[in-house]
Each structure stands twice: as structure tokens, then as C-alpha cells.
């Protein structure tokens, strides 16, 4: 069952609410002998954590991750080595302002999960969105950091390609730019445009959507599985599990509807290194659910944060019509912080499929 | 594990290759006491089966489904009643022309799974694509037909909204039209356009992509689960598992990237029937991964069939450069037959979540 | 979920009732490239099939297994090679005498699953016990035959050690005897005793229980997993899933309650071959849920067949008191045919753990 | 996958080593609206915790359980109410004396998991047995305490029936006695015998095995599932997952091998309350894998603690022959503390099957 778990051989279970004492994850099935330093995990946490710029929520969380099990310290007293048993990681919540949420305890914020949770469970931790809060994604990033260690040769990077109507110029794509601006933007020319645009949105107490692209390079051919364990299916599933995501694409995605078979076919020639050379990558690195050795390319669309200062019509838990205006500290573009989360989900999907493939075929690739 | 299974409480396992003796599925967990007639299952099979018009593959398969287990016949000698044990359904392959495929036994068709399967398994049933053939989807449709019976009040329908660059006019949407043309097209005005367009493509031995929309109405609020068992995530996963699908959207999908929080919020008022009334449905019926009672709206993009008559550059299993031209009987627009398959996948996702929800909350909804 | 499936990487799903058209299994996750001939599978089926001697049910089923998917024929036209996709195997039911069961359609046979199935499902395939019939185990044996091929160096054998109060003399244990008598008895001296004893029971229309021991030799060290995927736990679970099994032991089993720590410790010395040499095997080859390289030793107790000719008090589906006398063709000692089934379950558990271990640790062992 | 998880709808994942900072569990799928006080959970922890008498390990652990997620506090500020999201529970390790274990870091204690873990993972947390330590069972007891709340009408109790060769007189069985002695012994007359016996063993630095019986009363008929989700199978699996368990029985268990069909059949009459009245319970409350409404009776055998003061022959990680004598604080009869653990496992199995049954059949029973 997968209410709060995903993956099979690299299996991640997350727990915790936005305003409880802590949140965390348990990673079961991690191979033994994987070496990492806590600061490596932490560096990914820091990319996601709030308060990094004026364009994301001002909640202050250090998001310090603790590893509670599944590792031995190496003789240097610093390097952790996985033992093959479950790795439990915990992140304390420190900057909770639960009273910010008192007035929405019984009011359903439009676009939020409030009504749906009440419809399902009849009870809801309304403080900060409870379990539906994007704070849960901190645990994903911790798990993803470990997943990267399972696949040391694979590079997984994400970038924003669109905020509102403002799309990057793909000809300007430079991965080196991504860490030089608060938007994970690969197009330096777009940065000032997004800055101005988001300042306007932020000051208006409004919000806007975004598109994020994740690229995994150096993925060996042969990962994935027909028919319901397709690599692209599992990546799509995990990206879709991120808060506020409404669409997922692999390779050409929706644009493939307009392509002819001739245009879409990724032709091949034999490469000098004994591996096939693909002449294009419309497929996004996956055919028949199995990786081809080309870069895996996935994209996902994030809707605008539902927490806005403008009043919206709604109802409350007692069935009254009410108008709701969401105070609190929110992201004007929640898509920005989704970039490291998208990377984490792709990393977990790849680690899981790497182990699954190794189990079935015995190849280490 | 989910190599060839999906769902948890309504769990479907499929098996079979395109050119083996048969294919089928096992549905485990179906509630007992569900009554259906074989012809009801068959009617859904018939919507998907090949050879229905000149716009789909001319392979002739009757796709007669047999139910081998998990049912008792009612006294009328015709109505089947599920007993709660696994329902095994089998469809024989009858019109195989395996020799059509002899020459691609060791050649990798661009855009097909040939290379990826060989990279993974080191062996491949090349006849008709083997397991990667869209024939596997016959088993999904059989399972989906049973899933509908688990949710008798829910209506699940699919329609094509785009073929190539030709998009329907959504103002013309009429579900009544969908069964009146060979394209599952809800816009009568678009039918002749698509007819001409696909005739051209078909005669050129080419192919084209498409977009399909699936709508599930009367889904009760409360189905789905945070965080990795989201209803929209599971729908996206299952749609993405369909052959040739490259993108999936829920509600506004990628368009939500351009929306502001004000535009995107689905406002609510209390309805006269005690249920909330949503003033819009940008969310596509799901918030926080849980259904709201609004129609579930999902869309998916299907790439053009990779089997085309034009030669494309490729390699063979021995590492030689070759040029490949795919003969055989193929769909010029494989997206057409994807409509009943998309319905089936949504039906299965809903049936599974209905049972999962009932298990956890005890509510029958 | 595991209503009708077991295993994770070597995953088996069975379906079918005693008196339906057929029964079968789907094995998902089998490694590619495994070679076998159909007659090898069949030879295990034949060991289990009914009608082999006067001591088992006289139902006549050939139990011919067909492989419907997941394999390619080798050039010899006979050897099957797995492709890594699901292997579907089917066995037709041919000698059904459903009318034998007409009178128990609404009567609950004591010791049978009749009442429990009705209590759960409200409907029941009463013909031959439906899904609760031991005929389902034919599918297990087919799956087990394939599992053996995943572990070609491992030898898995079963023997009866007790029928009623008559226990074998373990000093006489000779595996060579097991196939020389209709009881899978490893003690030649016990065979005539059991023969006389079972003749008496059979003629009285009575039945008796038995104990079966399964031994797997040459199992590599390192298979299994803490804490809830222990190798002995999974073996116990699968043996307990066999019809009529009421107890399972690993190694010393219940006798270990009477041992001191000194007696129970399996001491070790370093062997000449670089592997540890254990001086005893109280553990039955498993420590902490993980194999040690010693033989895996498991035992299970099978209760007497509940189908007996003597009238027993019971009730019917309408709540009336009735007396039930079970006619039909039954096993006087159902434990006999449990021997090949026990082997199959152990084979499946080992194959699954072999793949799981290979996935997590990358070692092929 | 189930390396460190069990259950499907009431799904428990445990993590943590004996000498790490903490251990814990995540319970996913717990129904919403379940009310409990922390002290109720704690009361079960206290039954299992070490240092309760001179007959168990003298390690001092308070085993204070913290609930980190998945609950809201009721207005009384004390009652916790589950919200349907994962319940994470954590227990800190406080009395670790890791140096006790320095000398076994590279030596394999006979009967312990040391060698097997190294064979599998190539690395091992040797401190206190790491993950293979019985301390892990604290997390099970916490989960089991919550499971009981899912089934408020069911009573689940365990008692020791045998220590070494000393078996209780079942005619003396009195559940009222179980909490009056340090052995969970239901036979008051046996208490002084066990006291003397265990004092001798304890003083000799030796250890001894035991048998525990778990009885669940008031379990509704209809829980469980054919064929691989049998209730007795899942109970057997979970009992076998407890450290040091070597055998499991349901109902008559191994004694059923000696019974005739006439003796073994649990006859039925219609009871006055509309439920069937069983005249005996050889089946232990389960037929065909499904509960009958009779008490569920399971037994399990626990081997003697492998940690003994007498030197035993062994090897070390470098392949040298060594003699091992295990110091540290150990249980002379680890079976004693297994009683509350056995109860917890049965509680979890029943809670899971209750939810599974409700999901499939829609009945609340």
C-alpha cells in the first residue's frame, strides 16, 4: 500500500505534519556500504528550505536533518556508512506559528485540501495545512539525497522554464546559471524579468504557477519495467505526488500530439563507444517504459499557491457561506521550491529502478 | 511490486504478448456479489478492438473475453456474480501474422521499445512487439469493465480533443457525438476535418499524435489519499502506463502555470442539497490528492505510432547501422483506440480508491 | 496486497476454483534467460497430481500445464527461455463431478472453509470447495518448478516424517527412498506400517494428519532480511498458506523450548573452503532471518482431511441444525500430497529472496 | 516490499538499532477518529520493558513512547485523536553500554545473527546486536497498542505455557493470574517451579527456551482472505518475525498430525444468539484462512537466548577460530518478554485484516 510510502526496493515512507513536533522519513532497502556525510544531505535540504529569498515563504526553518538509524560512523567520525537497515531521518519543526491558522480551523480555503480532508477523514489538522503542507517535501529531499548516493554517476538537475506566461529561451539554457539566481533559472536573460514579475505578484498578495524541468544524465539503459512499473510512469507518479502539481510530461510531452511519426522517431546510429547514438531525444530517454541511456527529461506544472490575500468565496465546516482571505507566510510562486523536490523524486525513482533491475536481471549496469 | 500489476485492493495483473496464444488479466480483491453479464464486458472490448474503421489497425481480432474464475452463474444462467476470489479473464490471439515481423527480429525500430527491451533483458519477443504491444491493453479494458461495476453510479467517458494540430472547439462538446464517429470526437464539426487529415496520413504510411480527455462524473468526495496515494497521482500513473503516452494533466494541467491564485481558486458556495457547490473546476475534481465531488478531469497525450513506412536510420542487435521501414498493420493514430483504454484505467483507479477509502474510514460514501 | 499473490521480486498470483474451467498462476519478475523444458515443469506437477495411489483422492486430473506467455522457444523448438515478462501458466480442470457437491451447497461441512467463506463473502462456490480446494496448489507447484530454475544449484526436497502417531526413525533417513513409495517416506522400514495404517483409515472413510519436512541444501549465506522479511518468516508464511496446515517449525522448532543456550548454540569453526563450518544445525539454516549457508530445515503439520464419511453435527446456511457426511473422492491423508507443495513454496521463497538480496546488495552469491 | 514493514491497510514500518539514538515505528493507514491516551500506549510498553524482574535483562530503559504525528489533541488536552495520516512513534535509547560489545565487533556469537548479517551486508552494527536486537520489539508493542484501538471489542492476551521442560497444567489456566507473576504464567502452581528453575539458569549464566500462547477473543467471523492472505498465515508470519521464534502453531498445531478427521472436526450447532455454536476449537478459530468467530489461538516457541556466559567455539570476521563468551545484560529466558510482543503482533494482524475485509466486502462486522 502506498498512502505514505513509495518505491519498492528503495522504499521511502514519510510522516509528519506542518505544525507537529517534527517530520521525517524512513528509507528501507538502501544498499549497505553507501558512504555519505551529513552535510551532503543537508546541502540539498538547504536548497529547498524556506526563507532563502524574498520570493519564497518567510517561515524560518533551519531544516536540520538528523539520521537516527541505519548507519555506522566511519573511523573519521564523520562519514556515515549505510548498514542495509532502515535509515530514519528526522527534521524538527521550529518556527511554527499555529495561531496564524486559528481562523481557518473550520473554514475551507479554496484550492486547498481543507474540504477534501474533512470529507475523507472527518477530522483535520488545520495548523499550516497539516499533512497536506509542502513542509512534507523536506522529508522527500532528505530521501532523495540518499538516493543520489545509490547512483553516484548519474547527474540529476532541475530548472524552472516558465513562471506565469514568461517562458525561458531554451537557446540560452546554461546549467551553470541555475544556482546563480533565486529561481533555479537556466536562462540568465530571464532572471530580471521574473524578478520584476514576482515582485509585483508578491506585493499584491497574489501567486502564480510555474513549469519545472528535471533532467537526469548518465542513466544506464535498461532501467524500468513493463507494463505498470514503467520508469516514466513512476517518475510521472512521483512528480504528480508533489503538492500543487497538475501536469507531467516526458520528453516531448503534449507537443508529441502534433508530431508525425517521422518527426517523433529518435533515429539511431552506432556510436564509437559501443553504445547507440541517438540523433534526437523526443522520447525523453524512455522507450516502452525502459531507459535507453539518453538523458531522462521530465517536466511538471505547478499551480499557483492557493494561499492569497484576496478574499475568495467559500464555505465552512458547518455549511455556511464564508469569504476567506489567507494570511500567513506563503510562497508567491511555490514552483520555485519545487525544483529540488522534483530532483529528489526523480532520484528516488531511479534508485528504486536501479535496484529492481539489478534484482531481476543480475546486471549492475 | 508493480512490474505487471497495479492497484491495491482492486488489484489487476496482466500477462501476455501480442503473438502468443493468449493474453489476459487477473483481478484480485473484487468485492463479492457484483453482478454482470459477459456481454457487458464484451461491449467495452469491442470499443477498443482493432479493425473498427479504416483509421485503426486492420489486424482482425474478435477479442472475445472469457471469465475463467471468481464468479458463479446466477439462476438465469447468464448473470455472473463475483465471489470475492480472483477473476481471471482470458482473450485469445487469433490473427497473428508473426512472419510480418521476421525482419525486425534483430533490428531496432526507432521509437519502439525494441532496443530498450534488449538492453534490459538480453532477449526479446519481437513478434508484434511482444509484451510492449498495445494488444496488452485489451486486458486493461476487461479489468476496467469490471471496475465500473464496483462504482455503478459513476460515469466515466473519454473523448479525443486533438489530433495533430487540429483541436476541437470545446464549445461544441457533446458527449452524445462521441459514439457517432470513429474518433470518439465530441465536436461534430471536427469529424470531417479529422477524417480528411487522417486519410492523408494513412495513405502516406505516416502517423500522428493525439490528446484524449477522460471525465469521471459522480465520484464521491473523499476518495484518494495523501501523500503518495493521491487519486490524481494514481490516475496520472495509470494513464502514463498506456503505450505511447508522453504527458498527463489533471484539471487545468500545464495551463495552471499561467494562472494567478485568484484565477485558479475554485470558489465554493453551499449547495441546496447539502453538498458544496464549486463555481469552477480548475482543480479537475481533486484537491490534496482527494476527490472533492466535482468531475474528475484528466487528459493525456499520445505520441504518433512509431511504426511508419518511411525508412528511418537505426542499428541492429549486432551493432550495425541499418535503415528500418516498418511494415505490418498499424494504427495511423494510436490515440484513437486509447480512449476506451483511458476510461478503463480511470475506472480501475477509482474502484481501487473506493475500496481503500472504505477500508480505512469505514464509510461507504 | 496479498490476497492471492505472494513474493515480491519473484511474485506469484494464483487464480481458479476446483470446478471451474481452469486454474493457473502468473509469475511476475522471473529473471530473463532462464531455460527450461515443459516436461520439467510437468514432472513436478505429476508428483502432486491426484490418483497416483490408493492413498490419495481418486479424482483423475492429468494436470497438464500450459505456458501462455513470458517465454520464447529456443531453436530446438522445445526449450523455453524466459523473457522477463509475466509467465502465465494454466491447468484445465477436466474431471469435475460437481453434482457430488450439490447437497453441501448450503450445508457447512465441519472443519471445512464453507461457513467461513459464507460469513465473509455472503456467496460461495461450493463445488469441490471452490477456491478453498487443494486443487489450487497445482498452480503453486507450477510456479515452484520455475522458481527452482532461478536457483539451479539449490536442492529442495520434502519427506513425510509422521502419519498419525507413526513417526519415522530419523536414523533410517535415506533421501533415495522418498520416490520409492507412495508416501514420500525417507524411512523404508516405516513404509509397510503406513500402508497398513492408511488402508484401515481409508476403508473406514476416515482421515489422519501428517508432518512433512522440507530441506533446502546449498542455499547461499545472506538470503533473507530483517525484520519482517525474514527468510524463515516467509517460509513459515508460505507453508502455513497451504491448505490444512496448522503448524510450522524451523530447525529445532518447538523442541527449542526445552534446550539450554549451550545446547542450542550452533558452534562454528573455520572450514577449509573458506566458508564457516557449523558443528550443528539447531537453527535450521537461518539466524536473524538470514541464511547462514547451512541447510534450511522446515517442518509443517497437516491436519486430517475434513471430508470424512462419518456423520458430523453442523448447521446449514439457513441456520438449521443438520448432520453432514461428506461423500466425494478425498485424500485419507492430505499430508501426502503436501510434500511437493511444501517444496514448491520453499522454492518460491528462496527465489524471491535471492532476487531481493541481489537487488539490495548487488551480490550474485 | 516488507523488509521492515508489515500489514497492508494497517501498515507498520519499524526502524532503529539497539544502541542508536532512538528507535520507532510509523503506522500508516490507521483509521481516523481513534481516541487514545498516551498512557494507554505506555502501559503496554511497560509490560515489555526490561528490568522488571530478576528474570529479564537488567538493562534499564524507560521506553517512553512519543507520538510525533498523525494525531490531534482533544479539548481535554490529553486524549489523542488519529487524523488518518501516519502515526510516527519514537522511543529513545537511554541506557546504552556500547563498550560491553567492543570485543564482539568482529567475533560471531554462535546462535546470533552476527555472521548472517556480515554475510549479507558486509557491514554490521555490532553494538547490542544492532537491528537484530530484541529492542526493536518495543516499536512493535507501540504499534500493537494502537492496533487494539482499531478493534475495541476484541480481547488479546498471551501467557507462557512452558519454560524448558516445565509445562503448565492447562486445567489450572486462569487469565487472572497472568499479571500476578513475572512470567505471564496462567497456572499459579507453576510459578514457584519456574522461579526456582530460572534462578538456577540465571546464576549459571545460561538460558532456556519457552512456549507462549496468544488468544484473541471476540474476533468477528469473516476476517482473513484466501489464499496467501490467510489470517492464520499472517499471524504465523508475524509471530515468526519475532526474534528467536522457531515454531508457530494455530489451534491444535502439530498435535493435529495425530488426530483423525472425526476427532479434529469442530462440530457446530445453531446458537440461540443467531451465531453458530462450535462444540470444540481444534481449528484455533480459523478455517480456510478466515475467522469463524471462535477464539483465535496461536502458540509460538522461543529458543534460549544465545547470549550465555559459557564459552562457545566460533570464528571471527577474519576467518580465525575463536572462543566466544557473551557478557552484557541478557534475558535468561527471552520468551518471557515475548508475551506482550506476541499480543502486539496478533493485534496488528487483526487490525489489518479488519480493514482489508471492510474494504473488500463493505461490511463493518
pLDDT in tens, B241-251: 999 999 999 99
Q: Is D132 labelled a binding residue? A: yes
Cβ <8 Å between B211 and A247: no
Residues of chain A found within 8 Å of residue D360, distances taken between Cβ atoms: none
Q: How confident is the model at residue D52 (pLDDT cuts 50, 70, 90)?
A: confident
Residues above pLDDT 90, as percent of chain C: 84
Residues of chain B found within 8 Å of residue D355, distances taken between Cβ atoms: 359-360
Mean pLDDT of C77-87: 97
pLDDT at D100 over 80: no
Residues of chain B found within 8 Å of residue C120, distances taken between Cβ atoms: 32, 84
pLDDT at D267 over 80: yes
Cβ <8 Å between C229 and D3: yes
Q: How confident is the model at residue D288 (pLDDT cuts 50, 70, 90)?
A: very high
Lookup: cell for B301: 497525450
Cβ <8 Å between B111 and A266: yes
Residue linked to cell 529456443: C74
Residues of chain A found within 8 Å of residue B256, distances taken between Cβ atoms: 209, 246-247, 301-304
Cβ <8 Å between C209 and D282: no
Write down the pLDDT at residue A96.
67
pLDDT at C365 over 90: no
User: If you average pLDDT over every residue of chain C, what do you get?
Assistant: 94
Lookup: cell for B171: 464549445
Dihedral of CA atoms B177, B183, B189, B194 in degrees, nearest 10, equals -170
pLDDT in tens, B302-341: 999 988 889 999 999 999 999 998 776 678 999 999 999 9
Residues of chain C found within 8 Å of residue D322, distances taken between Cβ atoms: none
pLDDT in tens, D306-355: 888 899 999 999 999 999 987 766 789 999 999 999 999 999 999 999 99
pLDDT in tens, C95-111: 766 566 677 789 999 99
Write down the pLDDT at residue B273.
87
Lookup: cell for D171: 486445567
| Alpha-carbon span A263 to C244, nearest angstrom | 61
Q: How confident is the model at residue A235 (pLDDT cuts 50, 70, 90)?
A: very high
Mean pLDDT of D61-70: 93
Least confident of A60-69, B102-111, B179-188, C263-272: B102-111
Write down the pLDDT at residue A218.
97
DSSP C316: B
Write down the pLDDT at residue D101.
65
| Alpha-carbon span D87 to D12, nearest angstrom | 9
Helix (H, G, I), strand (E, B) or coil at B231: helix
Query: Phi/psi of residue A196, each to 5°?
Result: -60, -45
**Subunits with 3+ C-beta pairs closer than 8 A to B:** A, C, D
Query: Phi/psi of residue C163, each to 5°?
Result: -130, 120
Q: Give the closest-approach CA distance of B261 to chain A in angstroms.
A: 5
| Alpha-carbon span B44 to B39, nearest angstrom | 9
Cβ <8 Å between D262 and C308: yes
Residues of chain C found within 8 Å of residue D228, distances taken between Cβ atoms: 2-6, 14, 238, 241
For B236, C59, C67, C148, the CA distances from C41, given in Å and listed in that order, are 39, 21, 10, 10
pLDDT at B103 over 90: no
Of B4, B72, B88, the CB nearest to C15: B88
Q: Give the closest-approach CA distance of B150 to chain D in angstroms.
A: 10
Residues above pLDDT 90, as percent of chain B: 84
Q: Is A312 labelled a binding residue? A: no
Mean pLDDT of A130-150: 96
| Alpha-carbon span D148 to C140, nearest angstrom | 34
Of D13, D66, D87, the CB nearest to A28: D13
ipTM (interface pTM): 0.96
Provide the β-strand partners of residue A92. A22
pLDDT in tens, A239-255: 999 999 999 999 999 99
How many helices (H) and strands (E) chain D has is answered by: 7, 19
Q: Is C243 labelled a binding residue? A: yes
Query: Which of A342, C224, A352 lies closest to B3, judged by CA?
Result: A352
Query: Which of B247, B264, B216, B300 lies closest to A302, judged by CA?
Result: B264
pLDDT at D197 over 70: yes
User: If you average pLDDT over every residue of chain B, what do you get?
Assistant: 94
pLDDT at C214 over 90: yes
Cβ <8 Å between C270 and D6: no
Cβ <8 Å between D237 and C240: yes
Is the model's pTM score more than 0.80?
yes
Q: Residue A7 in contact with residue A352, Cβ under 8 Å?
A: yes
pLDDT at A267 over 80: yes
pLDDT in tens, D165-181: 999 999 999 999 999 99
Write down the pLDDT at residue A100.
60
pLDDT at A283 over 70: yes
Query: Which of D95, D125, D114 lies closest to A74, judged by CA?
Result: D125
Residues of chain C found within 8 Å of residue B29, distances taken between Cβ atoms: 1, 3
- Identify the closest residue of chain A to D17 by CA–CA distance: A69
| Alpha-carbon span A107 to A110, nearest angstrom | 9
Of C32, C68, C72, the CB nearest to B16: C68
Q: Residue B123 in contact with residue B12, Cβ under 8 Å?
A: no
Cβ <8 Å between A257 and B163: yes
Q: Residue D285 in contact with residue D251, Cβ under 8 Å?
A: yes
Q: Which residues from A are below 8 Å from D when comparing CB atoms?
A: 1, 3-5, 8-9, 11, 13-17, 20-24, 26, 28-29, 32-33, 66, 68-70, 72, 81, 83-88, 120-125, 130-131
Least confident of A116-120, A319-323, C186-190, D53-57: D53-57
Write down the pLDDT at residue C2.
82
pLDDT at A159 over 90: yes
Lookup: cell for C14: 494464483
Q: How confident is the model at residue A98 (pLDDT cuts 50, 70, 90)?
A: low
Start-to-end CA span in chain B (Å): 29
**Subunits with 3+ C-beta pairs closer than 8 A to D:** A, B, C
Provide the β-strand partners of residue D80. D36, D73
Query: Phi/psi of residue B275, each to 5°?
Result: -100, 150
Write down the pLDDT at residue A334.
93
| Alpha-carbon span D205 to D335, nearest angstrom | 16
Cβ <8 Å between B360 and D85: no
Write down the pLDDT at residue B100.
60
Q: Give the closest-approach CA distance of C97 to chain A in angstroms.
A: 39
Query: Phi/psi of residue C262, each to 5°?
Result: -65, -45
| Alpha-carbon span A337 to A184, nearest angstrom | 9
Lookup: cell for D32: 481516523
Q: Is B307 labelled a binding residue? A: yes
Q: How confident is the model at residue B104 (pLDDT cuts 50, 70, 90)?
A: confident
DSSP B224: B
* Centroid of chain to Cα C319: 35
Query: Which of A13, D233, D362 lies closest to B9, judged by CA?
Result: D362
Amino acid at each position: 500500500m502506498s498512502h505514505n510510502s513509495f518505491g519498492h526496493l528503495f522504499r521511502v515512507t514519510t510522516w509528519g505534519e506542518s505544525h507537529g513536533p517534527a517530520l521525517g522519513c524512513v528509507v528501507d532497502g538502501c544498499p549497505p556500504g553507501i558512504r555519505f556525510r551529513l552535510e551532503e544531505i543537508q546541502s540539498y535540504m538547504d536548497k529547498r528550505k524556506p526563507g532563502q529569498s524574498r520570493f519564497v515563504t518567510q517561515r524560518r526553518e533551519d531544516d536540520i536533518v538528523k539520521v537516527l538509524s541505519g548507519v555506522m560512523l566511519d573511523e573519521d567520525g564523520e562519514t556515515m556508512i549505510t548498514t542495509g537497515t532502515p535509515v530514519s531521518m528526522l527534521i524538527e519543526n521550529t518556527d511554527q506559528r499555529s495561531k496564524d491558522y486559528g481562523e481557518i480551523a473550520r473554514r475551507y480555503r479554496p484550492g486547498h485540501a481543507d474540504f477534501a480532508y474533512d470529507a475523507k477523514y472527518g477530522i483535520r489538522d488545520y495548523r499550516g495545512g497539516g499533512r497536506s503542507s509542502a513542509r512534507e517535501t523536506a522529508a522527500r529531499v532528505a530521501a532523495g539525497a540518499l538516493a543520489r548516493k545509490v547512483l553516484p554517476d548519474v547527474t540529476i538537475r532541475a530548472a524552472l522554464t516558465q513562471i506565469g506566461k514568461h517562458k525561458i529561451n531554451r537557446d540560452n539554457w546554461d546549467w551553470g546559471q541555475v544556482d546563480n539566481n533565486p529561481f533555479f533559472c537556466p536562462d540568465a536573460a530571464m532572471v530580471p524579468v521574473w524578478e520584476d514579475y514576482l515582485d509585483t505578484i508578491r506585493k499584491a498578495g497574489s501567486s502564480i504557477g510555474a513549469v519545472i524541468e528535471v533532467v537526469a544524465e548518465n542513466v544506464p539503459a535498461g532501467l524500468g519495467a513493463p507494463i505498470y512499473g514503467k520508469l516514466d510512469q513512476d517518475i510521472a507518479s512521483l512528480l504528480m505526488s508533489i503538492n500543487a502539481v497538475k501536469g507531467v510530461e516526458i520528453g516531448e510531452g503534449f507537443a508529441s500530439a502534433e508530431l508525425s511519426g517521422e518527426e517523433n522517431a529518435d533515429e539511431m546510429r552506432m556510436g564509437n563507444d559501443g553504445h547507440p547514438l541517438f540523433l534526437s531525444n523526443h522520447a525523453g530517454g524512455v522507450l516502452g517504459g525502459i531507459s535507453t541511456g539518453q538523458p531522462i527529461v521530465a517536466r511538471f506544472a505547478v499551480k499557483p499557491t492557493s494561499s492569497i490575500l484576496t478574499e475568495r468565496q467559500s464555505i465552512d465546516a458547518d455549511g455556511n457561506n464564508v469569504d476567506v482571505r489567507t494570511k500567513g507566510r506563503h510562497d508567491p510562486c511555490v514552483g520555485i521550491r519545487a525544483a529540488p523536490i522534483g530532483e529528489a523524486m526523480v532520484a528516488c525513482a531511479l534508485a528504486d529502478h536501479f535496484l529492481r533491475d539489478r534484482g531481476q536481471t543480475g546486471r549492475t549496469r
